[in-house]
Amino acid sequence: MTFYISKIFWLVAQPLSLAFLLLLTGLLAGLLKWSRIRTWASIAAALILFVTLFTSIGAVLLQQLENRFARADLPAGGPSCIITLGGGFESEIVSARGGFEMTQAGDRFVETLRLARDFPASRILVSGGDGSLSGAYEGDAVIAERFFSAFGISADRLIRETQSRDTFENAANTETLLASNGLENCLLVTSAFHMPRSIGLFRKRGLTVLPWPTDYRTTGTASLGFDFTQPSANSQLMATAVREWTGLLFYYLAGRTSSLVPQ
């Protein structure tokens, strides 16, 4: 139930959806002659749109998370295992067309492939089921087996976790698989902005993982200011930042992590 609530909440709470709902509220208030509500709803919608489209606030918020963890020092001889969190494949498109179409987070699997080739003794645990509301598509762990096989990585090295739909379930289900396979001190590969929340969940379960962030979305040197050159990119950065900070807050308040922003 929590999974579905979080999905529906995000459909409403992301910046552009929120701005649309405020505009709709203003329109309805105007029709009902509620002038004060119409005015404030319109002002709030315009402010959200301006901040989202024409400022660097999204980049700065995301950058704070991306800078939280550097890549760990690799153990001598390489890691015994590599945990890769899902979210890197366009599951709906892959289910319809085949292949390995990737999202922006596809770097997670490209980097894992590089590590797998550099350290041929390492096991690879891919955690990711179908995170859609419908549950009608192949998850990342299923697609990943074909992806790695196409590049010469033996299926015997893979451990697939196919049931998780969000980061909390990633950590919970991975804990069981690590124990049953006798694996520990693994590299954790995920997007840099997603690393604090992921590390927090693994730590809460008493699991030690070595951060290996990838898929950076910012330069690391962004500063607050206006930016009228790339509204669509600014909007995407803001949406990702708001979603990740909201996830951090929810997990902390729910007791799923021990600190608001793990470091």
Does one domain contain both 98 and 192?
yes
Domain containing 175: what range? 81-214
As a whole number of angstroms, the distance between CA 181 and CA 159 comes to 9
Does one domain contain both 40 and 150?
no
As a whole number of angstroms, the distance between CA 69 and CA 210 comes to 10
Does one domain contain both 46 and 109?
no
Three-state DSSP at 233 gives helix
Q: What is the pLDDT of residue 65?
A: 98
What tokens were used for 158? 């893979």
Does one domain contain both 32 and 121?
no
Establish if 221 belongs to a structural domain: no
Q: What is the pLDDT of residue 7?
A: 81
Establish if 163 belongs to a structural domain: yes
Q: What is the pLDDT of residue 11?
A: 87
What tokens were used for 166? 């969000």
Cα–Cα distance list, 247 to 32, 196, 243 (Å): 36, 11, 6
Q: What is the pLDDT of residue 46?
A: 97
Establish if 262 belongs to a structural domain: no
Does one domain contain both 192 and 237?
no
Establish if 224 belongs to a structural domain: no
Does one domain contain both 98 and 33?
no
Does one domain contain both 15 and 62?
yes
Does one domain contain both 15 and 113?
no
CATH number at residue 203: 3.40.50.620
Establish if 71 belongs to a structural domain: no
Does one domain contain both 90 and 207?
yes
Does one domain contain both 85 and 150?
yes
Does one domain contain both 89 and 208?
yes
Establish if 192 belongs to a structural domain: yes
Identify which of 159, 208, 219 has the alpha carbon closest to the alpha carbon of residue 185.
208
From first to last of its 263 residues, the chain has per-residue pLDDT tens of: 777 888 888 888 899 999 999 999 999 999 999 999 999 999 999 999 999 999 999 999 999 999 999 999 998 889 999 999 999 999 999 989 999 999 999 999 999 999 999 999 999 999 999 888 777 889 999 999 999 999 999 999 999 999 999 999 999 999 999 999 999 889 999 999 999 999 999 999 999 999 999 999 999 999 999 999 999 999 999 999 999 999 999 999 999 999 999 98
Number of domains in the chain: 2
CA torsion angle 69 174 108 124 (round to 10): 120
Angular region, 206: left φ>0, alpha ψ -120 to 50, beta rest: left
Q: Which residues contact 32 (CB under 8 A, 6 or more apart)?
A: none
As a whole number of angstroms, the distance between CA 195 and CA 174 comes to 16
